[in-house]
Amino acid sequence: MYDDIAKSKLNPRPGVIINHPNGSDVYAGVPKDYTGEHVTAANLYAVLLGDKSAVKGGSGKVVNSGPNDRIFFYYSDHGGPGVLGMPNMPYLYGKDLIEVLKKKYAAGTYKEMVLYIEACESGSVFEGLMPENLNIYVTTASNAEESSWGTYCPGMDPPPPSEYITCLGDLYSVAWMEDSESHNLKK
């Protein structure tokens, strides 16, 4: 995570992040391996591929997976046609991400992978590019031509606490996270 929300001067609750109007702090205790200038597409690719030598900065942690592992990958940022935002340039381009996923598959370092992508036009990153034989399930917040939408925004029901002038989350992410919290995912 870029890590610019909790300590922002615009945050009405310094050091705290909430994602529900009545929610508790979801920031405290969260491990942060890559923040600020170390949040780059190159580092993301290196982490996913398990390539410690290619990582620049951060903790150096990578996905050290084997052939029987299941990988869950969640990404949230802005998006556009064929691209996902990154706080540091260059952006993450669909064709580059697909090449990384192909390399990961060829290396035999996972059994199954699930990607949840939260961004406007996030479907465009995979549409017509994603091979069907990689044992990867992808779900996106939007198709190739639509926006992703905020939720718990001022004027919505329920609204965020009165001191907030922003949305607390994106509808897609909030929906699957709240659903996951209401079920035993280990069954």
- Tokens 């381009």 map to which residue? 93
- Report the distance separating Cα 82 and Cα 74, nearest Å: 17
Closest CA to 40 of 80, 95, 81, 96: 96
| Residue 167 known to be catalytic | no
Phi and psi at 3, nearest 5°, equal 70, 50
Cα distances (Å, whole numbers) of residue 39 to 26, 43, 70, 86, 182? 20, 7, 24, 7, 31
> Strand, coil or helix: what is 151?
strand
- Tokens 């491990």 map to which residue? 31
Q: What is the DSSP letter of 174?
A: H
Could you say which of 20, 78, 167, 183 is catalytic? 78
Measured in whole angstroms, the distance separating CA 142 from the mean position of its chain's CA atoms is 14
> Strand, coil or helix: what is 74?
strand
| Residue 183 known to be catalytic | no
Could you say which of 20, 38, 120, 167 is catalytic? 120
Decide if 44 contacts 30 (C-beta within 8 A).
Answer: no
Give the catalytic positions in this structure: 78, 120
